[in-house]
Amino acid sequence: MADNIAGDAKVRRHALPDRLFHWVQAVCMFVLLGTSLLPVLGVQFAWVAPHWIAGLVLTAAVLLHIVRATIWQGLGTIWIGWRDIRDVREVAAALFDSSKAEPKPGKYTFAQKGFHNFIAVVLLVAIVTGVVLMFGVDTPFWETDPYVVSEANRGLLFVLHGFTALLSVTLIMLHIYFAIRPEKLFYTRSMILGWITRTEYQTHHDSSRWSDTE
Amino acid sequence: MELFRVDTDAWGRELINGVSWDLLPLFFLAGVVFIVIHMVYMALRSRRR
């Protein structure tokens, strides 16, 4: 983290509801992957109930996040636009020509937006398939109904659901790797405490693309 | 390596039962490979600058 942050002004990056969503999602993902993949690795336990409970909590959290992001925050912050594509071209150019400066992003870099949008699709597929598959499980809300989907379609749902689990393993590994990289630790701090310092803001972000007063 | 888990129904027909868990080490490895390549790239980049 930055060496001298005590006297530096703070710029809010993540509001409390967004941080809560992130960490609830993180816990749910670990429970979901643990309850689905540990039995595959030979650790046998009653995994079905904690799996669907974590799935329901994640579904509720994602729905709240979608409503909040769409109505109160706007999707423009996370949408990948032409400016982001241009950023990638300029970063690539700076890679081969050290005289060229890398462009500063708005609130999120192209990579952060891309990761967010990719995992959003993965999670939505996992949630939709998971909710349909839940009808094959006894819960306090309903009893097993094996006829909600045909056997062939259930197989397809299990393929998609399992594929999202496998993809999540890779995505979580990359997410944690970038979260603990020294030059990215200030982003991790902002996901815990909500803020980055003004120096970090000025060093890493373009104020014309991300206003610190928002 | 199988891509899918396959089962047979009451009539002996083959049914896809899900994605093969044999793929799990592959996805884990993909993560490791990406991380190693990125670490090497960052190390080379910091040496160049």
Please check the confidence at residue A7 and state whether its pLDDT lies above 80. no
Query: Residues near A155 by Cβ (< 8 Å), separated by ≥ 6?
Result: B15, B16, B17, B18
CA atoms of A22 and A191, how far apart (whole Å): 8
Q: Residue B30 corresponds to which amino acid?
A: A
pLDDT tens digits for range A56-79: 999 999 999 999 999 999 898 999
Minimal-distance CA residue of chain B relative to A172? B31
CA atoms of A171 and A199, how far apart (whole Å): 30
Between chains, do A174 and B35 touch, taking CB under 8 Å as contact?
yes
- Would you state the pLDDT for residue A214? 55
Q: Which of A156, A169, A181 sits opposite B31 (nearest CB)?
A: A169
Please check the confidence at residue A16 and state whether its pLDDT lies above 50. yes
3-class SS of residue B31: helix
Query: Residues near A168 by Cβ (< 8 Å), separated by ≥ 6?
Result: A29, A32, A33, A119, A122, A126
What residues of chain B score a pLDDT lower than 70? Answer: 48-49
- Would you state the pLDDT for residue A5? 64
Chain B neighbors of A98, CB-CB under 8 A? 48-49
Decide if A170 contacts B28 (C-beta within 8 A): yes
Between chains, do A155 and B28 touch, taking CB under 8 Å as contact?
no
pLDDT tens digits for range A172-197: 999 999 999 999 999 999 999 999 99
* pLDDT band per the 50, 70, 90 thresholds, residue A146: confident
Minimal-distance CA residue of chain A relative to B8? A151
Between chains, do B34 and A170 touch, taking CB under 8 Å as contact?
yes
The pTM (predicted TM-score) of the whole model is: 0.90
Q: Which of B15, B23, B34 sits opposite A151 (nearest CB)?
A: B15
Q: Does B35 contact chain A (CB < 8 Å)?
A: yes
Chain B neighbors of A170, CB-CB under 8 A? 27-28, 30-31, 34
Closest CA to A170 of A29, A18, A23: A29
Mean pLDDT across chain A: 92
* pLDDT band per the 50, 70, 90 thresholds, residue A1: very low
In the stretch 29-88 of chain A, residues with CB closer than 8 A to chain B read 37, 40-41
* pLDDT band per the 50, 70, 90 thresholds, residue A2: very low
pLDDT tens digits for range A81-122: 999 999 999 988 887 887 888 899 999 999 999 999 999 999
Q: Does A20 contact chain B (CB < 8 Å)?
A: no
Instruction: Give Cα B8 to chain centroid, integer Å.
Output: 26
Q: Which of A158, A170, A174 sits opposite B18 (nearest CB)?
A: A158
